[in-house]
Structures are given as C-alpha cells and as structure tokens.
Amino acid sequence: MQFSAAGALPAELAARFAQGRIPHAVLLEAPAGEARERAVRELTAAIVCTGSPRPCRACVHCRKVFAGIHPDVSVLEDDPKQRVIRVDDIRRIRSDAYIRANEAECRVFILQEAQRMNEEAQNALLKLLEEPPAGVHLLLTAPSRAAFLPTVRSRLAMLRLSGVQAVRAPDERVDALLTALASGERYALLRTSAALLADRAEGLRLLGDAKAALRDAAADKLGLENRRGAAGEDAMRALSARVTRAQVLRLTALVDETARRLGANANQQLLSAWFALEAQEILSRQ
C-alpha cells in the first residue's frame, strides 16, 4: 500500500481506520527524513484519534501527538552510536506494552530504523507480534522490508512511502566484499562473506546492497550513469574492471540465492563459506 510523501493516509487505510480496523503492527518503508516523520505522526494520530475522520487533528489526542507530548506514544529513537537494536531494547518494549494506557484507549510504540534489529531482537519482537496485548500498536520504520526475518514480515502490515528516495552512505562491509570479488582471493572472500552474514537480519539488508552494487558494476561496464550508489565508487569500479558482464550476472544470481537461503534460516557460517567458494568458481571462469 502506498503512502503519500505529503502525509495523507491512503484511502484504503483511511477506510479501515474509519471502520475501527486498525492494524496491530505496521512497517512504514521509507528512508529517514522529514517526509517519513510526517507519515509517522499522521499514522500515530490516526491510531489514538477519537474524532472523525481519523486523524481529525482537533481532538486532544491528535493535538498531543502532533505536539510530540502524548503520554501513550513511546518512541525507541535511532541511536547512531549503536549499530544494532539489541534484544534488551525489545524486551523493554514488551514489558512496557503490558502497562495500561494513561489517556488514550490504546498505546503506540514507534520503533525507528527497525532494520537495525539483530536476529535475537527480531525473534523477541516476534513474540510480541504473535501475542499482542490488547490495545497495543507497533509502528516500525525502515528503508526496506528486506532486512526483516520472513516470520516478522508476515505479521506486519506494509506501507510504502512514495515520492521520496533513499540517500544512504555505502556500507564498508559491502565495499569490502566488492574488493574481495575484484581480487578473487579465497581468504578475502571467506573473510568478507562471513562479516556480511554474521547477523541474519543485517545480512539480508547487506545482500540487497551487494546486489544493487553488482547492478552498478554492470551499468558501469555499459557506460551508464543511472547507478544506485550502494557501494563506494572505487570498490565498484575495481570490480567492474575485473569481471565480465556474464560474471556480474552470475554473481547477482549467487547473491539472490544466498539471500534466499539466509531467509530460510540456513547456517550462517556454512552459508558464508559456500558463498565464497561459489564466487571464486564464478570468477575463475570467463
């Protein structure tokens, strides 16, 4: 379901709210920024609103949400110093979820940059998604649903914020993988693939970045400029100079298969070793 960057609720979602059919858990897919913050406030207000149509912007709950002072809205802010959201953070939310609302008929927990949850944290969240306390709503934000375990994704209502584009610095682990692929050295491939897949949820996101970076390399070989910037320019160009277009396509298929196996709970150590050996085999053939 698409959510306008202007912040208005999609018609289908507005109809659900009007009927009192409010999703228990929502993932808002969008890059960080003011447009996403507007959408989060709009959704939160609609959940606690007592007016009509929701959000009415006039009731006391709407006014407090838009002012950022509603006592029944809790936000787990993104901490740039903390690379991942840990299980203890999610356990605190689970514990707080059983406390009754102060003013509204329900409580809203907002989890910003939820793709930072490690696998243990996602499994802890899954327990809350499977057995939610009455009157509790979860609102997650992330650039992409790909970072979440399939069991978590299946329990989230998906909303995508249209009209905005992600701007994110390349991850050094993706750069390292591209550099290893350019070198073709077995040890480098083993080391970088192990780092890439060390955390299951983070690994799914990084594999998505790796796939985008491989597409950038393919575009570079064709002299195209419409690249995604998923990896640093130097690493991407080094790989582009090293591989043929056919090898890029085979490496892209390998990344897809690795992501599928990772999402199916394959052993991460065995999977990273398999990936490294398969990648080396691809690079050894023209």
The confidence score (pLDDT) of residue 236 equals 84
Domains of the chain plus CATH, in order, are 2-162 (3.40.50.300), 172-284 (1.20.272)
Residue type, 28: L
From first CA to last CA, the distance across the chain in angstroms is: 43
> Are the C-beta atoms of 186 and 280 separated by less than 8 Å?
yes
What's the rounded Cα separation, in Å, for the pair 199 and 35? 29
Non-local (6+) Cβ contacts of 84 within 8 A are 116, 117, 118, 121, 199, 202
Q: pLDDT of 114-164, one tens digit each?
A: 988 988 999 999 999 998 899 999 999 988 888 898 899 889 988 887 654
* Dist CA 97 CA 119 (whole Å): 21
Please state, in angstroms and rounded to a whole number, the distance separating the CA atoms of residues 230 and 196.
Answer: 14
Query: What CA–CA distance (Å, rounded) separates 14 from 32?
Result: 23
Burial class (CB in 10 A: 0-12, 13-18, 19+), 73: buried
Strand order in the sheet with 157-162: 2-4, 157-162, 25-29, 136-142, 107-111, 73-76
* Distance separating alpha carbons of residues 256 and 262, to the nearest angstrom: 10
Residues of the chain with pLDDT under 50: 1, 3-7, 164-167, 226
